[in-house]
Amino acid sequence: MADQREAMAQLFLERDVENFLYHEAELLDERRYEEWLDLLADDVRYWMPMRRNVKLGELEREFTREGQDVNWFDEGKDTLERRVQQILTGVHWAEEPLSRICHMISNVQLLAVTPSVLEPADVTVKSRFLIYRNRVETETDILVGKREDGLRRVDGHWKISRRKVVLDQSVLLSKNLTFFF
């Protein structure tokens, strides 16, 4: 019985986390940025390394390092809030007029749960993203990659405590990164 209870809890947790990620994507795509910020823990780390082409056997050099190297993003909530504020000024020309953005989130996998699936307080979840951005007339970007998120249970709700974004590009093919992953 205990095994079955745990299996059910695992299933429930997986759906719960998936729903959370879909809800988050919904807020971003619907441009409900302030509600999106509320999903982030105050101490959130938002990191997107750059990538290098390196030889097999030297793959430890593939990614730029969090907190040490230049990255695409390596920041906390303060800067993320300023990004939102900037979009909402209405004079941030790189996002004015606003882009049309669609986040496709898939391949959701729970990598770790602590202390237990029965009482999950922190989970590590990996997923794939495909972000479509279309702006002004014909300008279109498609960005594909992986995310690894830390989610924390706070007052009965999930908060994102860290996000690692791995974009499957080395030279960035988009002129800028004015949106959220």
What is the smallest separation between the CB atom of 164 and other proteins, expressed in angstroms? 15
Give, rounded to a whole angstrom, the gap between the first and last alpha carbons of the chain: 40
Q: How far apart are CA 137 and CA 166, in angstroms?
A: 28
Q: Which is nearer to other proteins, 14 or 96 (CB)?
A: 96
The C-alpha angle 50, 55, 57, rounded to 5 degrees, equals 105
Q: How far is the CB of 74 from other proteins (least distance, A)?
A: 6
Nearer to other proteins, 83 or 159 (CB): 83
Would you say 9 or 172 has its CB closer to other proteins?
A: 172
Judged by DSSP in three states, 68 sits in coil
Least Å distance, CB 131 to other proteins, is 14
Nearest approach, Cβ of 111 to other proteins (angstroms)? 26
C-beta closer to other proteins: residue 7 or 84? 84
Minimum gap (Å) between residue 79 Cβ and other proteins: 5
Element (H or E) spanning 11, and its range?
helix 2-29
The contact set with other proteins (CB under 8 A) reads 48, 50, 52-55, 57-58, 61, 64-65, 67-75, 79, 82-83, 85-86, 89, 91-94, 136, 139, 170-178
> DSSP string of 84-131?
HHHHHTS--GGGSSPPEEEEEEEEEEEEEEEE-SSSEEEEEEEEEEEE
Q: Which is nearer to other proteins, 9 or 88 (CB)?
A: 88
Pairwise CA distance, residues 93 & 61, whole Å: 36
